[in-house]
C-alpha cells in the first residue's frame, strides 16, 4: 500500500528531491512495521528516528498498515 | 574562590573567601543553599531582606565546552518560592575566569536610584551611578555599555519591566555578539534586580584569575573525552545546529501535547509554519544564521539569528519555548510575528514564556481573538510603555486571569507552564506541579523519554518516578554550568564517568556518581525547606483544575496522576 511520509529534523537532507509540502509517497508491504518503514527509507533507529501518526509515537514493532500519513521525527530533549 | 557581597543601601562592597558551608558548590546549588540559609523565607521578595545571587557553574570559565550557564537566585516575586533561573551567554565564563564563585546583591537602594556593578579584569568590583540609563531598553543599554567598557565585556541587565518591578521581568544576558538576547526569564528575577536598584552587572571577559585546577592532566583528558562525546551525539551534532530547540515543534505537535489556544487543544492549526524546519528554511533564504554560537565555550551552536525579509536583524535566538508561548498559545502561526514579539520582550526585559501565556489568557478571556498578530504586538508594546494594562500583562498570566476574572490560567505557584501539556505528557505535568520553582520545564523535562519510547506519555505508570529522577539529575547538573543540551548528550555511563572525572580533576575531591546525585537531592531539599518555611504545603503542588477536568484534543484525556502520587515524589 502507499502512504505519505513527512520528514522532520535533518532527515529530509538525505532525500534531494524531497518537497516538504507534499511529503514523499512510499510503497510499503502488507504488515509493515514502523521499523520496516525506517529500514525502507534507510534511516537508522540508532540515530533516534521515530515514526509518529495519529498523535502517537509508534513502537518499532507497531504496524503502520492502514495509516494514510506518518511523520518521521528525530528524538531530542528540550527545550 | 571568592564571593563579592554588595550592599545597595550602604553602597558598600565586600570580598570574602567562600565559607566552608558553601565549599564546592556552584550554580543553582550555591544560589539555593545560600538563599535557604540567608534569606528570611517570609520576606517581601521586593524588599531589602531578599538577596539576588549570581553564581556561575562550578565548571564555568574552564576549557570544558558548554559550561556557560549563569544561575541567578532569589525569593521570587512571581511565585513566592525560592527561585533559580539560569541563562546562557558569556557572563558565567567571565566570572569563572576571574575566580568569582558568586556575586550577592543585598539591601536595597533608595526608590528610583539605579547603579551599575562593574567587575574589572582584575576582579575588583565598583558601583557606578546609572541614573542616566533609567528607562532605557536592553539593546541600546548594552550598546552604550560596550561603547564605554569595550567589546570584551559581559552584561546582565534589566529593561523597563525590571525597573518597574513587574513580576514577569527577566534578566537579560549578552551573547557572544554583545546582544542582550539570552534571558534568565523565569520567576520575575528582573523585578528583584530592579527593586535592588541594580540596572546592570558588567563583567570584564579578560580575567586570568580562574581557580586553579587540582589535576590539570586529568582535566584535559576529561575535556577531550567530553568534547568527543558531544560532537558525536546525534542530537547535539546533527539536529541542534540545523534546527535548534525549535526542532521540538514537530514532535510535540505530533504527540498532541503542544498547548495551543491557551491550552484548549494539543495541536496548533498550521504548526508546520512555525516548526524548527521552517524556521531554518526562512533564516537560510533571508541570509540570517541558522547555526549561531550564542554562548562562550559552545560547540553545539543551537542558537540562530532571525532576520526580516530585507535581511535585517530581528532577534536571536528564536527558541522552542518562545515559539510555543507566542505562537501556540496565542494561535499565531507566523514566525515573523513571533520573532518581533521575542525581540520586544528581550528589549523590555520580560519573560517570553510568561508574557506569551499572559497574552493567550487575555485572548481566552475574550479581550482579543486568538491568532490576532497585531493585537499581540500591541499588547506587549503596552508593557514597554508602562500603561495600566501593560503592567497587568507584565505581571504574568495569573495577574491577567485575575484582571479578567478568568479561571483558565495555566500556572502553578503563579508561574506559567511550558510547552508540554500535562494532559498529553503526564510526566511533565508532574514536574510542573511539584518543582520547587513553580511550573518549570527545565526542572525535569520528560519529553526526551517519550520520544525515545522509554515511557508512554499517556500512561500514569512511571511518570512520578521519571520526573523525580530528572528533577534530581537536573538539580545536580544545574550546579556545573553545563547547558541542558550538553548534559543530555552526556547521559551514557561512559559520558557520566568523564563528567565526574572533570569535576574531580577541577576540585581535587573524589565524589562518585552517587555523590553527584546526592548533590541534586541536597539542592532540592534546601529548596523545599525554604518553600515550607515560606508557607507552601503539598496543596500548592497541584495543577490548575481545568487540567483535571477538561479533556485535551486530540487524545481527549485529562491529567490523571493522583495527589497522593504527587506527594510521594520527594520522599527522600
Angle of helix B352-364 relative to helix B397-404, nearest 10 degrees, comes to: 20
Average pLDDT on B186-204 reads 98
Name the residue of chain A whose CA is nearest to B319's CA: A79
| pLDDT one-digit tens code per residue, B402-433 | 999 999 999 999 999 999 999 999 999 999 99
| Confidence band of A79 (pLDDT split at 50, 70, 90) | low
Determine whether the interchain pair B441/A10 forms a contact, defined as Cβ–Cβ distance below 8 Å.
Answer: no
With beta carbons under 8 A apart, name residues in chain B contacting A78. 245, 248, 320, 419, 441, 445, 447-448
**Does the predicted interface ipTM exceed a cut of 0.85?**
yes
> What are the distances in angstroms from CA B320 to CA B113, B261, B277, B506?
36, 16, 12, 33
Closest to B141 measured CA to CA, from B111, B110, B162, B166:
B162
| pLDDT one-digit tens code per residue, B487-502 | 988 888 889 899 999 9
**Which residue has 540609563 as its cell numbers?**
B133
**C-alpha cell, B412:** 502553578
B66 CB within 8 Å of a chain A CB? no
Determine whether the interchain pair B451/A8 forms a contact, defined as Cβ–Cβ distance below 8 Å.
Answer: no
With beta carbons under 8 A apart, name residues in chain B contacting A51. none
B514 pLDDT above the threshold of 90: no
B511 pLDDT above the threshold of 80: no
Name the residue of chain B whose CA is nearest to A48's CA: B452
Min distance B321 CA to chain A CA atoms (Å) = 7
Could you tell me if B72 and B57 are in contact, meaning their C-beta atoms sit under 8 angstroms apart? no
Question: B residues 431-490 near A, CB within 8 Å?
Answer: 441, 445, 447-448, 450-453, 484-485, 488
pLDDT of the residue at A1 = 85
Distance CA B498, CA B490 (A): 9
With beta carbons under 8 A apart, name residues in chain B contacting A23. none
Determine whether the interchain pair B251/A8 forms a contact, defined as Cβ–Cβ distance below 8 Å.
Answer: yes
With beta carbons under 8 A apart, name residues in chain A contacting B321. 79
Name the residue of chain B whose CA is nearest to A13's CA: B242
Of A9, A47, A78, the CB nearest to B447: A78
Min distance B125 CA to chain A CA atoms (Å) = 35
Q: What sign for the dihedral angle of Cα B535, B528, B37, B350?
A: negative
The CA angle B299-B300-B304, to the nearest 5 degrees, is: 115
What's the mean pLDDT when you consider all of chain B?
Answer: 97
B24 pLDDT above the threshold of 90: no
Query: Residue B290: in which H helix or E strand, if any?
Result: strand B289-292
Percent of chain A past pLDDT 90, that is, above it, reads: 73
B523 pLDDT above the threshold of 90: yes
B206 pLDDT above the threshold of 90: yes
Determine whether the interchain pair B234/A74 forms a contact, defined as Cβ–Cβ distance below 8 Å.
Answer: yes
pLDDT of the residue at B141 = 98
Name the residue of chain A whose CA is nearest to B418's CA: A79
With beta carbons under 8 A apart, name residues in chain B contacting A52. 251, 254-255
Determine whether the interchain pair A77/B235 forms a contact, defined as Cβ–Cβ distance below 8 Å.
Answer: yes
> What are the distances in angstroms from CA B545 to CA B12, B150, B395, B433, B437?
48, 52, 22, 12, 19
B154 pLDDT above the threshold of 80: yes
| Confidence band of B137 (pLDDT split at 50, 70, 90) | very high
B513 pLDDT above the threshold of 80: no
Could you tell me if B275 and B323 are in contact, meaning their C-beta atoms sit under 8 angstroms apart? no
| pLDDT one-digit tens code per residue, B287-331 | 999 999 999 999 999 999 999 999 999 999 999 999 999 999 999
User: What is the count of residue pairs from A and B with beta carbons less than 8 Å apart?
Assistant: 96
| pLDDT one-digit tens code per residue, B226-266 | 999 999 988 999 999 999 999 999 999 999 999 999 999 99
B540 pLDDT above the threshold of 70: yes
Name the residue of chain B whose CA is nearest to A58's CA: B453
With beta carbons under 8 A apart, name residues in chain A contacting B267. 55
Of B247, B448, B485, the CB nearest to A9: B247
Of B239, B418, B419, the CB nearest to A76: B239
Amino acid at each position: 500500500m502507499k502512504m505519505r511520509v513527512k520528514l522532520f529534523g535533518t532527515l529530509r537532507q538525505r532525500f534531494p528531491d524531497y518537497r516538504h509540502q507534499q511529503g514523499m509517497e512510499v510503497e510499503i508491504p502488507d504488515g509493515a512495521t514502523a521499523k520496516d518503514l525506517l529500514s525502507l527509507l534507510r534511516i537508522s533507529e540508532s540515530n533516534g528516528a521515530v515514526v509518529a501518526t495519529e498523535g502517537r509515537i509508534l513502537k518499532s514493532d507497531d504496524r503502520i498498515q492502514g495509516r494514510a500519513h506518518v511523520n518521521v521525527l528525530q528524538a531530542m530533549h528540550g527545550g | 574562590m571568592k564571593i563579592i557581597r554588595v550592599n545597595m543601601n550602604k553602597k558598600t562592597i565586600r570580598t570574602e573567601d567562600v565559607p566552608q558551608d558553601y565549599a564546592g558548590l556552584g550554580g543553582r546549588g550555591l544560589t539555593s543553599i545560600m538563599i535557604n540559609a540567608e534569606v528570611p523565607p517570609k520576606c517581601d521578595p521586593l524588599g531589602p531582606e531578599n538577596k539576588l545571587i549570581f553564581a556561575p557553574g562550578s565548571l564555568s570559565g574552564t576549557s570544558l565546552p558548554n559550561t556557560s550557564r549563569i544561575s541567578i537566585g532569589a525569593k521570587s516575586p512571581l511565585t513566592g518560592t525560592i527561585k533559580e533561573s539560569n541563562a546562557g551567554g558569556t557572563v558565567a565564563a567571565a566570572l569563572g575566569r576571574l575566580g568569582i564563585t558568586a556575586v550577592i546583591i543585598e539591601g536595597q537602594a533608595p526608590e528610583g536610584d539605579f547603579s551599575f556593578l562593574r567587575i574589572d579584569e582584575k576582579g575588583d568590583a565598583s558601583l557606578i551611578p546609572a541614573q542616566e540609563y533609567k528607562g532605557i531598553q536592553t539593546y541600546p543599554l548594552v550598546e552604550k555599555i560596550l561603547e564605554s567598557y569595550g567589546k570584551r565585556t559581559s552584561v546582565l541587565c534589566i529593561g523597563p519591566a525590571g525597573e518597574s518591578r513587574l513580576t514577569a521581568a527577566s534578566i537579560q544576558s549578552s551573547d557572544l555578539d554583545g546582544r542582550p538576547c539570552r534571558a534568565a526569564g523565569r520567576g520575575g528575577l528582573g523585578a528583584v534586580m530592579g527593586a535592588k536598584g541594580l540596572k546592570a552587572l558588567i563583567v570584564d571577559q579578560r580575567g586570568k584569575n580562574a581557580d586553579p585546577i587540582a589535576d590539570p592532566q586529568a582535566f584535559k583528558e576529561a575535556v577531550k573525552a567530553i568534547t568527543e562525546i558531544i560532537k558525536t551525539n546525534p542530537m547535539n551534532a546533527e539536529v541542534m545546529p540545523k534546527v535548534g530547540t525549535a526542532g521540538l515543534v514537530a514532535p510535540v505537535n505530533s504527540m498532541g501535547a503542544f498547548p495551543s489556544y491557551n491550552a484548549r487543544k494539543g495541536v496548533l492549526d498550521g504548526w508546520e509554519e512555525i516548526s524548527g524546519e521552517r524556521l531554518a528554511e526562512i533564516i537560510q533564504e533571508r541570509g540570517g544564521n541558522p547555526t549561531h554560537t550564542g554562548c562562550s565555550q559552545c560547540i553545539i551552536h543551537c542558537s540562530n539569528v532571525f532576520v526580516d525579509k530585507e535581511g535585517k536583524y530581528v532577534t536571536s535566538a528564536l527558541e522552542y519555548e518562545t515559539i510555543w508561548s507566542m505562537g501556540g498559545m496565542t494561535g499565531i502561526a507566523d514566525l515573523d510575528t513571533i520573532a518581533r514579539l521575542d525581540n520586544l520582550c528581550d528589549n523590555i526585559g520580560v519573560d517570553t514564556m510568561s508574557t506569551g501565556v499572559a497574552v493567550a489568557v487575555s485572548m481566552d478571556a475574550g479581550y482579543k481573538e486568538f491568532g490576532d498578530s497585531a493585537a499581540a504586538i500591541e499588547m506587549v508594546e503596552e508593557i514597554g510603555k508602562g500603561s495600566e494594562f501593560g503592567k497587568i500583562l507584565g505581571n504574568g498570566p495569573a495577574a491577567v486571569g485575575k484582571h479578567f476574572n478568568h479561571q483558565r490560567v495555566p500556572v502553578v505557584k503563579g508561574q506559567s507552564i511550558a510547552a508540554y501539556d500535562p494532559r498529553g505528557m503526564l510526566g511533565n505535568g508532574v514536574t510542573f506541579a511539584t518543582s520547587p520553582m513553580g511550573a518549570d520545564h527545565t526542572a525535569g523535562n520528560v519529553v526526551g523519554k517519550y520520544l525515545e519510547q522509554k515511557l508512554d506519555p499517556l500512561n500514569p505508570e512511571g511518570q512520578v518516578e521519571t520526573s523525580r529522577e530528572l528533577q534530581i539529575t537536573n538539580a545536580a547538573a544545574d550546579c556545573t554550568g553545563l547547558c541542558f543540551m550538553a548534559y543530555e548528550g552526556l547521559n551514557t555511563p561512559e559520558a557520566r564517568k568523564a563528567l565526574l572525572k572533570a569535576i574531580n580533576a577541577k576540585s581535587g575531591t573524589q565524589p562518585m556518581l552517587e555523590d553527584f546525585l546526592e548533590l541534586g537531592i541536597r539542592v532540592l531539599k534546601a529548596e523545599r525547606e525554604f518553600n515550607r518555611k515560606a508557607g507552601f504545603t503539598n496543596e500548592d503542588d497541584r495543577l490548575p483544575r481545568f487540567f483535571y477536568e477538561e479533556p485535551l484534543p486530540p487524545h481527549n484525556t485529562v491529567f490523571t496522576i493522583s495527589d497522593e502520587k504527587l506527594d510521594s515524589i520527594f520522599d527522600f
